[in-house]
Amino acid sequence: MPSSATENRRDFLKTSARVAGTAAVIGAASQHARAFAGEDNTVRVVLVGCGGRGTGAAANAVQVKGSPVQLVGMADVFRDRLDRSYDTLAKNFADKVDVPEERKFVGFDSYKSAMDLLEPGDVVILTTPPAFRWVHYAYAIEKGLHVFMEKPVTVDGPSSRRMLEFNEKAKEKNLKVGVGLMCRHCVARGELYDRIRDGQIGDVLELRAYRMAGPTASAASGPRPEGMDELEYQIRRFHSFLWASGGAYSDFLIHNIDECCWMKDAWPVEAEATGGRHYRGDMIDQNFDQYSVEYTFDDGTKLFLRGRTMPGCQNRFASYVGGSKGSAVISARSHWPSRARIYNSWDWTKENEVWNCGKETVNPYQKEWEDLVEAIREDKAYNEVERGVEASLVTAMGRMAAHTGQKWTRDQTLNHDVELGTAPDGTTVADLTLGGPPPLRENDKGKYPVPMPGVITKREF
């Protein structure tokens, strides 16, 4: 863009900000992070990773209230996923989606083409499988872009260390970064957190979390279809492969773990766990069907977690906290509405209920976008990456404890030298190409290595 146009835009935005009573976001402290991206005060966004969560995140972005947001580019490794996402978004938000054919990009390098459409201060949505997060985040920082990234943001120690290092550069550039742990933006949970901090249930003594359901998303996968490229299969079925996603454990259980740690206001320092695979038939994924994890905080408090993806079993989707003066429901039946409430004992009867959140009207999936865009427009400090890495790391710690049959500490997990997305020849996810070898290869029977607790103890497989 010519410098004169940029200056005109900045003049316009400063005037708009004064009229609207909104703080200007352009100044010496944020010279690399221009907040507004359109001649008409529109925030421009591109989507990198066009699966279901990416489509949902883009929908949330363009629905931000009181702030024009427009989707101007899309990128994915697979054309069919991009097309489905575009069709959904264009149908539901026609006036907010301006993505002509020349701004649709396909392939492993497509993220660069999409981000190259933007200028510093625009926003990129990163919703590919988490193995690629550090690659895409590095490029976003180089381009001076604000970021929304999905969870988990890392799946192992090396990628966690790398993301924390990259994030220092993002903070230097005053970039605003949201992480898709949307429960942290839930109004009801926020009030519950305040009440727990005020001592309404006394000292926190115990936390429990459950996510027990049938097979979920792409976590259970059968043999690769004949003729399909092996790397393509692994990315399409990314919940089945530890290198791509951390598996079902990391991708699905992280929310329950994170909301419990929020209420405790701390992160666990170690984990012990069990888990196993049952009646899997010809399934080739690397997941266990059930996990039972005991997390320990620095003060000795425990978080007990149960995860299961087995059909025909009793389902449960909830998180709880027990205190010396009472107990609380953090969530029940789903991520939202939370149905948060407090009891004056551990006996959950109506008579013992002393507070409940009432009807919940603010969707946290939407509010996390409202909060991010507000921070961009008002130049507020806003970076959720460290918290996102910590939640991802603690999740990986429990997963590794279950997969190895050993106790794992937080620091041991962070400093572990095994990067799941790096192939034996040193090839990383940044080097992948369609038709090329994946980080993990199937054996001559079309199957992949699975964790063997007690047998393989220094790594997961």
Query: What are the structural domain ranges in the chain?
Result: 3-183+367-383, 185-362+392-431
Q: What's the first-to-final CA gap in the chain, in angstroms? A: 50
Averaged pLDDT of the chain: 92
Q: Is the dihedral of CA 88, 61, 104, 250 positive or negative?
A: negative
CATH number of 185-362+392-431: 3.30.360.10
Per-residue confidence (pLDDT) for residue 40, from 0 to 100: 63
- Number of Cβ within a 10 Å radius of residue 277: 14
Q: At what angle do helices 157-172 and 385-404 cross, to 10 degrees?
A: 180
With beta carbons less than 8 A apart as the criterion, state whether 67 and 93 touch: no
Question: What is the distance of C-alpha 193 from the center of its chain?
Answer: 21
Per-residue confidence (pLDDT) for residue 2, from 0 to 100: 37
* Dihedral over alpha carbons 395, 396, 400, 402 (to 10 degrees): 20
User: What's the CA gap between 104 and 71, in Å, rounded?
Assistant: 11
Dmax (CA) of the chain = 68
Is 206 strand, coil or helix?
Answer: strand
Fold that domain 3-183+367-383 belongs to in CATH: Rossmann fold (3.40.50)
Encoded amino acid at 442, one letter: E
With beta carbons less than 8 A apart as the criterion, state whether 253 and 291 touch: yes
Which strands, in side-by-side order, build the sheet including 204-213? Answer: 353-356, 341-343, 327-332, 316-323, 204-213, 302-309, 290-296, 270-276, 408-409
Per-residue confidence (pLDDT) for residue 39, from 0 to 100: 52
pLDDT in tens, the chain (461 residues): 333 333 333 333 333 333 333 223 223 233 334 443 445 689 999 999 999 999 999 999 999 998 899 999 999 999 999 999 999 999 999 999 999 999 999 999 999 999 999 999 999 999 999 999 999 999 999 999 999 999 999 999 999 999 999 999 999 999 999 999 999 999 999 999 999 999 999 999 999 999 999 999 999 999 999 999 999 999 999 999 999 999 999 999 999 999 999 999 999 999 999 999 998 889 999 999 999 999 999 999 999 999 999 999 999 999 999 999 999 999 999 999 999 999 999 999 999 999 999 999 999 999 999 999 999 999 999 999 999 999 999 999 999 999 999 999 999 999 999 999 999 889 999 999 989 999 999 999 999 999 999 999 999 99
Per-residue confidence (pLDDT) for residue 434, from 0 to 100: 87
Q: Which residues pair with 431 in a beta bridge?
A: none
Per-residue confidence (pLDDT) for residue 10, from 0 to 100: 36
Residue 97 DSSP code: B
Residue 230 DSSP code: H
User: What's the CA gap between 41 and 24, in Å, rounded?
Assistant: 12
With beta carbons less than 8 A apart as the criterion, state whether 382 and 177 touch: yes
